[in-house]
Amino acid sequence: MTEVKWTMKAREFVNCNCAYGCPCQFNALPTYGFCQAVAGMEIESGHHGETRLDGLRFVGIFRWPGAIHEGKGEAAVVIDEKATEAQRGALLRILSGQDTEPGATIFQVFSTTLETFHEPIFAPIDFTVDVDARTGRLHVRGVTDGHGEPIKNPVTGAQHRARIDLPRGFEYSIAEMGRGWTRAIGPIKFELADSHSHFARLHLTQSGVVH
């Protein structure tokens, strides 16, 4: 790890193939024995060293043949096309787990489980997320398209609200649970339908989640 310090306050929308709630959040095995996920994030404020990251968006697309901790995963990253060269380099260092204490953030932990990392994509990212309303929309042309919404009561159809609180997690402090649909088109291909989603506000640094 280098001496470069970084921080980001961001909002995220994540959709994976697990059942609502996602067993992985509880250190249990994934619902179907493997993991496929797409995550979109927008940085409200942040920096990597002297490089500001405010307003930038990025997307991570992941697939593992088994549980995440068993490794052999692959990932593709999309960086906001409006990012400068310095910002692109800074985000790629953060997302690949560099300049981060071991085990401190989701980016660093995931990086240790990947054996294939596709060339980064720089493209426009259409992204909206409302954490409290539990809604999200993510679109990158030719790469991925998805949306998330609240869980519905199967009897009444009313919105159901559930949250996960992780006091010692490496991604968020509290996340709102929802459901989502996503089509990953390339370079990693899969489809998700009415599966786990979560919506969260993030505050991360090279040392982990800020509580």
DSSP codes of every residue in 143-185: TEEEEEE-EE-TTT--EE--EEE-TT-SS-SEEEEEEEEEEE-
What is the average per-residue pLDDT within 138-147?
A: 98
Residue 145 · residue 106 · CB < 8 Å? no
The closest alpha carbon to 208, from 105, 95, 96, belongs to 105
Tell me the pLDDT band of 2, cut-offs 50, 70 and 90: low
**Cα(34)–Cα(57) distance, integer angstroms:** 27
What is the average per-residue pLDDT within 182-201?
A: 97
CB atoms within 10 A of CB 58: 24
pLDDT digits (tens, 9 = 90+) for 79-127: 999 999 999 999 999 999 999 999 999 999 999 999 999 999 999 999 9
CB under 8 Å to 50, separation ≥6 — which residues?
A: none
pLDDT exceeding 90 applies to what percent of the chain? 98
CB atoms within 10 A of CB 142: 10
On the CB side of 175, how many CA atoms lie within 13 Å of its CA?
26
CB atoms within 10 A of CB 35: 23
193 CB-contact burial (10 Å; exposed 0-12 / middle 13-18 / buried 19+): exposed
Output the average pLDDT for the chain.
97
